[in-house]
Amino acid sequence: MFELIKIKDTVRVPPERFDEPREDVVLDILRKSYEGLLDNDLGVILSVIDVEEVNIGKVVMGEAASFHKVTFTALVYKPMLHEITPGEVVEIVNFGAFVRLGAMDGLAHVSQITDDYISHDQKKSALVGKETNRKLKEGDKVKTRIVSISMSKGERGKIGLTMRQPGLGKFEWIEEERKESEESG
């Protein structure tokens, strides 16, 4: 889930930047230190959008800088358990498909792609269903559900995905199933 959140922190401004506009310096420092950061509670910080408040700085003895309490807005992506999300297959491996969910990639293990037995076609870089002959390859658009999340501080985290439920899977498969349901119903 993408969210705009407010964060409060203290920013260290080095003396060589004292002559620049304070808000611009703080925004630059925040972007360099926060963007791309993974936080277990917040998720992945994608962008620092705006600095709302910069207090007058304090100088600490023995430290050549000023320290400012700030409040800023950031765009974050935090995967939520059971969230249904569209994505794009970015890599096929013998054990599953990596799906780009926007800010992060998740893994749909072969056991979570279809009810069919799946084999890896290394030459075509695809996963192929034995009975249905359905193929999943890089670039395919899919709809998935997040079934597991493992986030460690400082790491990108791991997201487990499933496509084995009604309304999930490759977009073409979903459309085929919808048409079959309409024709039989």
pLDDT tens string 59-94? 888 888 999 999 999 999 888 899 999 999 999 999
User: Residue 108 and residue 159: Cα distance in Å, rounded?
Assistant: 9
User: Residue 26 and residue 72: Cα distance in Å, rounded?
Assistant: 10
Tens of pLDDT, residues 4-56: 999 999 999 999 999 999 999 999 999 999 998 887 778 889 999 999 999 98
Q: What is the pTM of this model?
A: 0.75
Query: Residue 22, SS3?
Result: helix
In order of start, what are the domains of the chain with their CATH numbers? 2-77 (3.30.1490.120), 84-184 (2.40.50.140)
Query: CB-hemisphere CA count at 13 Å for 129?
Result: 16
